[in-house]
Amino acid sequence: MVSGGRLPKDAIPVRWLLTHQAGLAALDRPVSRTELLSWAPVVRALEEQTPNWPPGSAHGYHSMTYGFLVGEVIHRVTGELPGSWVSGHVAGPLGAACYLGLPGALHGIPAPVLPFPAANGIGSAHGIARILAALVGEVDGIRLLSPTAVEEARRERVHGPDLAAFAMTETALGTGFNLPTRERSLGGPGSFGTVGLGGCRAWALPAVRKA
């Protein structure tokens, strides 16, 4: 499929998924709850979707599709769905209470977020902090990113008008992470992380990590 005469969709680099430049921020057709929970139907819908803008020409927060786009890369490389992969390689080893898909035993424990309950990523502040700390240094002997990878992650890739973000006119993005802007400063210059609805913020700042 060719969009805007610029790039076949199957030639979109993984980097553009991480920088929200793929132009697949929304689907034209409705998706049922059963399809959302079945994974493969949404992946097929994204494969069939005409990009919302020519890939690589702009960026926009892929709030509801990002997990499927990046998660399917994980799935095809490792054979695991992203929830089990994150549990086995990130949250589990760090003892971090963070989940992609809440385990049945924990149903009813997390506080709901209103008016929108995010997109199935659930975690405690302490758990998210452990994961972010392990990006920039060791946490109980575990480090998730090398110093070189950290610099790549927080190097600005795009900055400017966001075509898809709710209540965000401007965003700055590294590789897979939000970067500070005037409206959302995160932890200040050099920090990288994420922003969420209702004022949720999480970030790491390598310059102030503990030795």
User: Is 85 within the bounds of a domain?
Assistant: yes
Helix axes 40-48, 66-78, angle to 10 degrees: 110
User: Is 3 within the bounds of a domain?
Assistant: no
pLDDT for 68: 95
pLDDT for 11: 84
pLDDT for 4: 41
pLDDT for 117: 52
Within 8 A by CB and 6+ apart from 34, the residues are none
Q: Phi, psi (5° rounding) for residue 19?
A: -105, 15
The CATH number given to whatever domain includes residue 122 is 3.40.710.10
The 8-class DSSP code of residue 63 comes to T
Number of structural domains found in the chain: 1
Q: What are the residue ranges in the chain where pLDDT is below 50?
A: 1-5, 211
User: Is 52 within the bounds of a domain?
Assistant: yes
User: Is 190 within the bounds of a domain?
Assistant: yes
Report the alpha-carbon distance of residue 61 to residue 150 in Å, rounded. 21
**Containing domain of residue 170, as a range?**
9-106+113-208
User: Is 198 within the bounds of a domain?
Assistant: yes
The two tokens of residue 76 are 């095809």
User: Is 30 within the bounds of a domain?
Assistant: yes
Within 8 A by CB and 6+ apart from 176, the residues are 18, 19, 70, 153
User: Is 1 within the bounds of a domain?
Assistant: no
